Amino acid sequence: MQDWADRIHPDDRDRVVQFCIAQSQAGVDHEADYRALTCEGDYVWIRDVVHVVRNEQGAVDSLVGFMFDISERKRAEERLLQLQGELTELSFRDGLTGVANRRRLDAFLDAEWAVACRERKPLSLVLADIDCFKQYNDHYGHLAGDACLRRVAGLLEATAVRGLDLLGRFGGEEFLMVLPGTDAAGALERAELCLARLAEAGIPHGASGVAGTLTASFGVATLVPGPGDDLLALLETVDRCLYRAKQQGRNRVVASQSLVASHV
């Protein structure tokens, strides 16, 4: 018994030993999967199947155990779980740009809105729209347009704080950055950084009516949710700010609270 217990992996030992002893004492057939040490010093996955043998009076007479090496099966299960995780991740990614898709954005927004409401923390949104993108597609072709969307997505995502913020494709050539816990000043600074990074990239746009390189317009909105506030109103606010940025000449940031505008 002690040799059997000693060969069980330390992470599995207490669980398996306690379970098997309890089932055996109760006279119940049982199975247990665990990692066991081999003579070569390696761990393999074992399925331990124990059958209770009773005498004519029905009392437990003995236990008969069988051990099966299920390492290959465990590897297959782990690979399946990994593939399922990868599929789940892909289901939340925009197929063209690789950033979060609208489904992921909506779920993240709902979750962070709930946190902001509960903890009374700010939630900021930055909505970006590539200027004159139809003209870009017409001038350079749709394949170049797809490559442009991927590059812009990469530039914007590079400004996000990993693990906190989320950038997603909102639709067409629009991207939404969700900034939990970021106040109005921080959100405006983030949008200005995105604007600067895009200018530094210098992506040629010969058909733009704004500049010789690709530009984008940004709307910024921030809210510490209170009673009566709702997420849809915040989204409508950031959309109006983006519309103002377009109206004012594009290639700029317009923020909801201060309505500060700037352009590179």
Task: Bin 171: left if φ > 0, else alpha if -120 < ψ < 50, else beta.
Answer: left
In degrees to the nearest 10, what's the CA dihedral of 219, 224, 225, 230?
0
Catalytic residue among 112, 157, 173, 174: 173
Please tell me whether residue 261 adopts helix, strand or coil conformation: strand
* Cα distance from N-terminal residue to C-terminal residue, the chain: 76
Exposure string for 189-215, b = 16+ CB within 10 A, e = fewer: ebbbebbebbbeeebebeebebbebbb
The CA distances from residue 7 to 25, 30, 68, 205, in Å, are 21, 19, 15, 67
Centroid of chain to Cα 254? 28
Centroid of chain to Cα 151? 20
Nearest 5°: phi and psi at 80?
Answer: -65, -45
CB contact at 8 A, 177 and 165 = yes
Is 173 an annotated catalytic residue?
Answer: yes
Q: Report the catalytic residues.
A: 173
